[in-house]
Amino acid sequence: MQETTDGLQEKTESPAQDNALGERKKESYRIFDDIAGTYDPLNRFLSMGIDVYWRHRMKKELPKKEGLKLLDLATGTADVPLILIKNPHVTKIRGLDMSKNMIAIGREKIKERNLQEKITLDIGDGCNLPEKDNSWDVTTVSFGIRNFPDCFKGLQEMYRVLKPGGQIMVMEFSLPSNFLIKAIYLFYFRKVLPFIGNLFSGHGDAYSYLNQTVEDFPYGRQFLDLMDKANFKKTRAIPLTFGIATLYIGEK
């Protein structure tokens, strides 16, 4: 296991989930069904557009191999596939998500760009993938694995469906190591983001739930340890924007 940047903070508290939060994760797709209509514009606003840069960084880290076929989990409204398909090495992307309303919006976005032959979206559970063993060159998940009821099971499933030599890419929120940046970040995540998100989405606590899942998630070294335990090799972590998010990469 290795890290690309010194000082990547390790989460110190236990990764065991609170029972109530764990139960809610099993039904989290219902939250995304409820907020699907406002999800994209709120995402751009609340992240100040940084999330677009993060997805382009993921695109740059794809393997330099012709004819790549990608499986994107928790694909939502297809933001990740629509950027990754721009990599000239990628020929096909299949996105899976449990939220039918998010998938419906994603399909419309794909249709508008006339990419139906290259990108397909379907309902699918990240912890029980409807895919054959050794069938994909790359598996990806962005800001979704923290919502899995069992993120380790999700990693095992991603390993199973990868071809030998295939690459996993997981992008997820993390906590900055710098004390001042971390304090500002937590204030924004705990106070500002939930207030604005809940208000404009029309949902009572969807964005409060977002904060809870971020702080519950085993980021940094703990997540790399989970990847190692799931048998991934050459695991590494790339902190993004002061460590607000992290891109984890490994190989089968």
Convert the pLDDT of each residue in 149-200 to its tens digit. 999 999 999 999 999 999 999 999 999 989 999 999 899 888 888 888 888 8
* Eight-state DSSP code of residue 6: T
Residue 208 within a domain: no
Helix (H, G, I), strand (E, B) or coil at 167: strand
Residue 115 within a domain: yes
Tokens of 219: 């980021």
- Smallest Cα–Cα separation from 36: which of 85, 5, 75, 89? 75
Residue 199 within a domain: no
Q: Does the structure show a pLDDT above 70 at 95?
A: yes
Tokens of 212: 């809870």
Residue 209 within a domain: no
Please indicate, yes or no, whether the overall pTM of this predicted structure exceeds 0.95. Answer: no
d(CA 241, CA 103): 28
Residue 78 within a domain: yes
Q: What is the per-residue pLDDT for 213? A: 83
* Percent of all residues in the chain with a pLDDT value above 70, rounded to a whole number: 90
CATH number reported for the structural domain that contains residue 66 in this entry: 3.40.50.150
The CA–CA distances, whole Å, from 44 to 3, 73, 83, 105, 251 equal: 29, 20, 15, 16, 31
Domain residue limits at 157: 19-178+218-251
d(CA 42, CA 180): 26
Q: Report which secondary-structure segment, H or E, holds 30.
A: helix 28-47
Number of structural domains, the chain?
Answer: 1
Residue 8 within a domain: no
